[in-house]
Amino acid sequence: MNYIQQAYKGQRDLWMVLLTTAIVGGVFLLNFIFYLFSDPSDLDAAYDMMKNWPANFSLVVNLVPFAVLLGLLFLLVKYVHQRSILSLTTARPKVDFKRVLFSFLMVCTFTLVTFFIGYSIDSSEIIFQFNPGKFALLFLISIILFPFQIGLEEYLFRGYLMQHIGVIVKNKWFPLILTSVLFGIAHSANPEVGAIGFWKMMIFYVGTGLLLGIMTLMDDGLELALGFHLGNNLLASLLVTADWTALQTDAIFKSTADPSMSLLSEILMPVLVVYPIMLLILSKRYGWKNWAERLFGKVTEPPKEDYKIIE
């Protein structure tokens, strides 16, 4: 059974899918509605209020709800859908933590190398603000809470929704595209969207969602997406902060650059060049084949004997 077919291992009534999506994903929908219908000045006021909070307190307030929602998702999958969390995670007999680590190290290496190359070329808009005490607390908060934040986003978008939408529509390409778009919309209320531009950031977020979705379908599991997302968000918290980003932290460096991103070099280059290179690296390491079938193939109901929940 492939990754999307894991949804057949539990109850799949439509009301269950709608209930779980509403309870767990409702906060993302509310954020999007708030973004669409709020006056820009109200959004700015909300962001300014959070900037007045201590950085680590603000980070905790922003991350704790993800832990609650991830717990709710797991409970609903286990007791409403009557499925194992393993079936939501991977098609393998057990979670492959080596895959998580490899993807984590891949994105961390790329981020650190590119940052320090840029810093060595021009550091005029980067301030070194390392404070051992504040950074130690930030590090502790980050390693404890960010796994819940990225876990919720991966298990909800690339896991639960990818699987159940795929079972409903009987193909793989539609859930891949839809969950990537929903992933972008879920980040629409982030302050950098207003600072940089809605369409620029949507290209980046949706492109990142496609990358993570392709990883998941090609590898038959969430492990690579979990590692990549965790590495990306941890470094976003620990390495560089800025006044106009969603994460206001006591990071090692602070950017004083204007909130702007080049469409070509900072949006399209990662999405169209860097991401495909990363997929190529992963495909060589894990021997991915049959790309057309894995990304665009049909989702068929497996034999009844395969429905037993893997413990």
Extents of the domains making up the chain: 4-299
For 90, the token pair is: 């991977």
pLDDT digits (tens), the chain, 311 positions: 999 999 999 999 999 999 999 999 988 888 777 767 776 666 666 666 666 778 888 899 999 999 999 999 999 999 999 999 999 999 999 999 999 999 999 999 999 999 999 999 999 999 999 999 999 999 999 999 999 999 999 999 999 999 999 999 999 999 999 999 999 999 887 878 877 888 899 999 999 999 999 999 999 999 999 999 999 999 999 999 988 887 789 999 999 888 777 777 788 999 999 999 999 999 999 999 999 999 999 999 988 766 554 44
Give the position of tokens 């859930």. 175
Order the strands of the 240-241 sheet from edge to edge: 126-128, 253-255, 240-241
Other beta carbons less than 10 A from residue 74's beta carbon: 16
List, in order, residues 6 or more apart from 16 with CB less than 8 Å away.
76, 80, 81
Say how far apart CA 154 and CA 159 lie, in whole Å.
Answer: 6
Q: Could you tell me the pTM of the whole model?
A: 0.92
Angle at 268 between CA 266 and CA 274, to 5 degrees: 85
Cα dihedral across residues 283, 289, 290, 294: positive or negative = negative
Q: Let me know if 211 is exposed, middle or buried by CB neighbors in 10 A (0-12, 13-18, 19+).
A: buried
Q: Which amino acid is at 12?
A: R
Q: How many angstroms separate the CA atoms of 207 and 252, rounded? A: 28
